[in-house]
Amino acid sequence: FSHFGLYTSNTDNCMVSTQFELKGLKNHHCNSRPDMVMFMDDATIFFENKINSGEGVNQLQRYAEHLNEIKNKKKTLVYLTRDFDKKDSKEILKNCNSEIDFIQLRWFQVFNFLKQYKSEPIILELLTFLKQINLSMNNQFTPIDLLTLSNFSKVRKMLDESMYGQVSEKFKEINNGISKHSASLTQLRNHDRYIYWADHNEKMWVGLGYWMNSMNEKEYPEIGIVIEVAPNSNKREAITKALSNITEKFSDWNGYNLNSPTDWAGIFVGNSLQAFLSSENHIEEIQNYFIDKLNELDKILTEFPELPRRKK
């Protein structure tokens, strides 16, 4: 703990709890549940660990605001990740009027620190486990990484060719709008997907493109279309009910988080990129798939007026 500047005193009398639930404050839309909390006589530390999962709505900000309610203690919020995910501490702590330390750590840093103690059997077991789940060396380029870099521009042009033209024109016509081309790279950076989208009313949106699945090297990327609604949408209950009904009528569409009020929820239709590799013209086959599913999307938005479709 002292090595990473988390806590320098004795931890013999600390209490540790995982998935510790905190009742939402007045300005929060849901309860909070840090991955781990540590309570000492003079300090409190919240830990949030991200590997393959996305961040909840204002998740770190909510944790910081809970820490802000604690008086007369040193308070620390630790954000531990496998991949680079730079956060703005000023944004996270903007509603806090007491001193809170926000510390970002990477798993490779933890791994390198533990290597000093690999003579201990339990530490050696932990190091072996961290290697098995790819948490040990995320600060080094692999041959696969270098191959990806050298082909990135070419692959991006192929992605664009399959998504734009007649596909993007139809998407824009159905959704009465489309995001900027450059925004697809932002989506790739933040969410591991190369898509464009259109915002509808009541914090609902529709997106089309590629989901990379880069956290799992055994999985091929997927192509598809998503309809998603925010957890703090005023019409969330009506929208999620409609989405559930859609999955019953359109069997190719699958729902997620429809009964989880604190998470982004939606329905997705898609297919593995592997399914198109046997065709002679990959781009044409993918375009045809997108057009077919856009026709379904148009029918869905027309048949389910509960979905707050964006007007022209």
CA distance 289 to 162: 10
Q: Is CATH 3.40.50 correct for 15-132?
A: no
pLDDT at residue 9, as a whole number? 82
pLDDT at residue 138, as a whole number? 65
pLDDT at residue 144, as a whole number? 81
pTM here is: 0.74
Q: In the chain, where are the structural domains located? A: 15-132, 143-303
pLDDT at residue 83, as a whole number? 85
pLDDT at residue 148, as a whole number? 85
pLDDT at residue 62, as a whole number? 96
User: What count of other Cβ atoms lies within 10 Å of the Cβ of residue 212?
Assistant: 17
Buried b / exposed e along 180-189 (16+ C-beta atoms within 10 A): eeeebeebbe
pLDDT at residue 198, as a whole number? 97
Q: Is 125 exposed, middle or buried (0-12, 13-18, 19+ CB in 10 A)?
A: exposed
In order of 5, 40, 134, 154, the CA distances from 9 in angstroms are 11, 9, 32, 54
In order of 65, 66, 262, 294, the CA distances from 26 in angstroms are 11, 11, 15, 40
Flag residues of the chain having pLDDT under 70.
138-139, 217-218
pLDDT in tens, 193-252: 999 999 999 999 999 999 998 777 668 999 999 999 999 999 999 999 999 999 999 999
